[in-house]
Amino acid sequence: MATEDRSTQQPPASTEDRGRPAASAVKDRRWRTAAVRVGLTAGMIAAVIESLLNKSELLARISAWLWVEALCFSLITHVVFGLIVCAAACLVGAATGRLIRPLADRLRPAPLALAGLLVGEAVMAGWGIALVAGADLPGGSAGLACAVAIWLVALVPVGWICLRLGRGILGRGLGPLSRVAAWPAAALLLVAIGVRWFGRPQVQSADGFWTPEASSQPVRSSHDRPPDVVLIVADALRADRLGCYGYHRPTSPHIDAFAADAVVYEQVISPGAWTIPAHASIFTGLYPSQHGARFGLQRLWLDDGFVTLAEALRDRGYQTLALSNNPIVSPATNLTQGFQRFAEPGDFGRSAGSNHLAFFRHVLSKVRFLGPSLARWFFDDAGGHTTTAYVARWLRDRDRSRPVFLFINYMETHDPYEPPRAYRRQFVQASDVNRSYGIDQSSTTVWQYALAGKPVYTPRDVKILSDLYDGRVRELDDHFADLIAVLRAELDLDRTVLVLTSDHGENLGERGLFGHQFCIYNTLVHVPLIVRWPAALRPQRVDRLVQTCDLFPTLLAWSRAQARQTAKVMARSLTAEPPTSTQSEGRYAYAEYLFWPASPLETLARLDPAFDPSRWQVAYRAVFHDRWKLILASGGRFELYDLRSDPTEARNLVASHQPTVASLAGQVGRWLGSFKRFDPSQVTVPEDRHLDDEQRQRLRDLGYVGS
């Protein structure tokens, strides 16, 4: 009965094949046809299932086009992957039939191809899930060899089951289904490739983006209504990498055009050197010593007792929305107090094919030759693209009788620096573009270079990383232009307070450092601040010292909101002093780096017992006044720099300028004595607060938590 069935369904297998020479069995058309048909069909089904399982419902609610893009991405990855694994399974099947003749009759292409795909999907998904759970899996070629070995081993039992089922319902259904569905699947694949190709990120021209005339309608006189407020924080954006702050490369044509019609603050010091304290200072007007948002997973938290900008504006009647692409600017850290709505657009963007992406980034992108060619298809939206769509949707749906407070955190300029190809081509030397995909930017590798002094990067790699950062700035600049287009359509920009700043800068190889930890140099604390509000400000450049925490009293005053902060606010409104006040009369600015992350040091010590972490277990404070910057390290060490003649802080003048050191150190002492410091024992982190696996993985990717 079974023999009869086989002979009627697949005459070549039972009659001609057995007599054929071995080589022709491999070339058997049946195997090829099955591989292609099943690969296309099952890949398409996998893509549809994934799209249904993932956050596609949310994506569709934001924008139908985003949903189509995500589906196309899913289709390409699953169908191409399906074709590869089905072909591999058929090769294995054909080769087995050749080697073990008695089995040749029993091995049938379609069920085996399906088994290959099922096992492949499971290996990739399992790999992604294990990575998210923190498993230490091999990457690169070793990882690929491992994955292939697992796939081969698992193919035997799963293939056997599929072959058994193949004689029954699976066999009767799969063949006809794949014959019918393969053509539409192939057509869909072509459409998906077309959509991704034509929709791929392109470097936009800044022509006509912003002309002061275009936005010079008279300001409406509705005095009762406070202005709409849009606060944009580009995470880890260095001031000196923007054209309007003197950078020589064309990283920011749109931001520059906007800045020419706005107030550009040239000397802006962030009170914190990294994300959480810096955002907390912007939101509360307080210094890190006062708000105490600091390191340690349990202490990545802004205490509920403080009044935030969003709370004050919400109470003033604003509709408040936070869009954060950084997982630690979120309810998980309580930085989003006062925002009535909160979303992580980057999260939606990543959802399509996330397990594939995790596997790809960990394994395939590090395989030489394979990586660079595949990587261009797997560019990862850091959230900017989805953010624009989200803002458009939210503004369309808003209550137009009330003002809006919109806060956006962009992650394009945060590590890892993985701009789409178009931006790489603009900023990375042509001969290095392919190499740029293969540089390992995992946090452990970066720490090994920066903290342990391991030569994991060549000087050429360091240059490429810096160029990639420039590419990311340019990408951010395009997202900024897209955002402005949406804001212009929905808001009256002349009645809108528009602020562009960053929480901190980034080390890009200076002093061998990368990222934004373990120091308090100006690479980290000198940030951009560009403010536009035609109702009250005329475009100009302001060179007196200001701080990002000044945004708290400034935006409260402009929106005529009241806030009784629970600690002493030493920040000053940006318009409280004339922009021309001379430097010597000017203020003191302070920056603090009070806690360092323990996990990188622990990871490095685990990898190399000889590693000495004590060099990095240092807290810093810095005071800025006039031309001077004094750094006070926790061990009692001082560094003094004359920023006017030495902006890169290359010459420590402590030995030759003792009176200045004493005067500035005395000032820091008086400053510390003038307010109540945050008492960590008072912190009220809720007991049930926890980070989910995905958040932990994101924190690990960003280097905040050890691997």
Confirm if 584 and 339 have CB atoms less than 8 A apart: no
Give me the long-range contacts of 694-702 (CB less than 8 A, separation at least 24): 694/132, 695/327, 695/330, 695/332, 696/132, 696/134, 697/131, 697/132, 697/134, 698/327, 699/327, 699/328, 700/134, 700/443, 701/416, 701/443, 702/326, 702/327, 702/328, 702/414, 702/415, 702/443
Residue 36 or residue 446: which is nearer to Zn ion going by CB?
A: 446
- The encoded tokens of residue 124 equal 């990739």
Residues of this chain, 592-611, that bind Zn ion according to CB under 5 A: none
Residue 51 or residue 333: which is nearer to Zn ion going by CB?
A: 333
**Least distance (Å) from Zn ion to the CB of residue 575?**
26
Contact call for residue 281 and Zn ion (CB under 5 A): no
Query: DSSP assignment of 1-31, as one string?
Result: -HHHHHHHH-HIIIIIGGGS-HHHHHT-HHH
Is cis: bond before 212, omega within 30 of 0?
no
Q: If we measure between CA atoms, which residue out of 412, 418, 463 comes closest to residue 437? A: 418
**Least distance (Å) from Zn ion to the CB of residue 326?**
6
Contact call for residue 412 and Zn ion (CB under 5 A): no
**Least distance (Å) from Zn ion to the CB of residue 270?**
10
Residue 272 or residue 553: which is nearer to Zn ion going by CB?
A: 272
Confirm if 358 and 135 have CB atoms less than 8 A apart: no
Per CB under 5 A, the segment of 189-197, 267-275, 524-532, 602-610 that binds Zn ion is 267-275
Q: Which of 275, 281, 290, 436 binds Zn ion (CB under 5 A)?
A: 275
Residue 263 or residue 508: which is nearer to Zn ion going by CB?
A: 508
Query: DSSP assignment of 579-648, as one string?
Result: TT--GGGS-EEEEEE----HHHHHHHHHH-TT--GGGG---EEEEEETTEEEEEETTS-EEEEETTT-TT
Residues of this chain, 56-75, that bind Zn ion according to CB under 5 A: none
**Least distance (Å) from Zn ion to the CB of residue 692?**
21
Handedness of CA 145, 111, 157, 53 (dihedral sign): positive
Confirm if 525 and 591 have CB atoms less than 8 A apart: yes
Contact call for residue 235 and Zn ion (CB under 5 A): yes
E strand or H helix at 191, and its extent? Answer: helix 169-198
Site string for Zn ion, 487-516 (x = CB under 5 A): ----------------x-------------
Q: How many whole angstroms from its chain centre is CA 182?
A: 36
DSSP letter for 156, please: H
- The neighbouring-strand residues paired with 404 are 319
Residue 275 or residue 365: which is nearer to Zn ion going by CB?
A: 275
**Least distance (Å) from Zn ion to the CB of residue 308?**
17
Per CB under 5 A, the segment of 239-247, 269-277, 389-397, 487-495 that binds Zn ion is 269-277
Residue 326 or residue 365: which is nearer to Zn ion going by CB?
A: 326
Per CB under 5 A, the segment of 22-30, 231-239, 427-435, 623-631 that binds Zn ion is 231-239
Q: Where are the alpha helices (DSSP H) in 199-247?
A: none
Per CB under 5 A, the segment of 94-102, 228-236, 426-434, 670-678 that binds Zn ion is 228-236
Residue 170 or residue 500: which is nearer to Zn ion going by CB?
A: 500
Confirm if 39 and 82 have CB atoms less than 8 A apart: yes
Query: DSSP assignment of 458-507, as one string?
Result: -HHHHHHHHHHHHHHHHHHHHHHHHHHHHHHHHS-GGGEEEEEE-S---E
Residues of this chain, 286-325, that bind Zn ion according to CB under 5 A: none
Residue 115 or residue 309: which is nearer to Zn ion going by CB?
A: 309
**Least distance (Å) from Zn ion to the CB of residue 151?**
39
* Sequence-ordered list of residues with C-beta below 8 angstroms from that of 525, at least 6 positions apart, any chain: 269, 270, 273, 504, 505, 591, 622
Confirm if 355 and 124 have CB atoms less than 8 A apart: yes
CA-CA distance, 645 to 316, in Å (whole number)? 45
Residue 17 or residue 235: which is nearer to Zn ion going by CB?
A: 235
User: Which residue's C-beta sits nearest to Zn ion?
Assistant: 275
CB count within 10 Å of CB 441 equals 18
**Least distance (Å) from Zn ion to the CB of residue 80?**
35
**Least distance (Å) from Zn ion to the CB of residue 136?**
27
Q: If we measure between CA atoms, which residue out of 289, 276, 244, 308 comes closest to residue 565? A: 308
Confirm if 115 and 89 have CB atoms less than 8 A apart: yes
Q: How many whole angstroms from its chain centre is CA 194?
A: 26
Residue 189 or residue 594: which is nearer to Zn ion going by CB?
A: 594
Site string for Zn ion, 163-192 (x = CB under 5 A): ------------------------------
Q: If we measure between CA atoms, which residue out of 332, 369, 36, 69 comes closest to residue 195? A: 69
Per CB under 5 A, the segment of 203-211, 227-235, 545-553, 598-606 that binds Zn ion is 227-235
Per CB under 5 A, the segment of 6-14, 274-282, 342-350, 587-595 that binds Zn ion is 274-282
* Residue 140 backbone class (left: φ over 0; alpha: ψ -120 to 50; beta: rest): left
**Least distance (Å) from Zn ion to the CB of residue 510?**
18
**Least distance (Å) from Zn ion to the CB of residue 236?**
5
CA-CA distance, 183 to 653, in Å (whole number)? 73
Residue 232 or residue 364: which is nearer to Zn ion going by CB?
A: 232
**Least distance (Å) from Zn ion to the CB of residue 506?**
9
Residue 503 or residue 649: which is nearer to Zn ion going by CB?
A: 503
Residue 35 or residue 499: which is nearer to Zn ion going by CB?
A: 499
E strand or H helix at 540, and its extent? Answer: strand 540-547
Per CB under 5 A, the segment of 7-15, 22-30, 271-279, 475-483 that binds Zn ion is 271-279
Confirm if 498 and 533 have CB atoms less than 8 A apart: yes
Residue 335 or residue 545: which is nearer to Zn ion going by CB?
A: 335
**Least distance (Å) from Zn ion to the CB of residue 275?**
3
Residue 203 or residue 273: which is nearer to Zn ion going by CB?
A: 273
**Least distance (Å) from Zn ion to the CB of residue 443?**
14
**Least distance (Å) from Zn ion to the CB of residue 195?**
33
**Least distance (Å) from Zn ion to the CB of residue 240?**
17
Site string for Zn ion, 347-386 (x = CB under 5 A): ----------------------------------------
Residues in the site for Zn ion, rule: CB under 5 A?
235, 275, 503
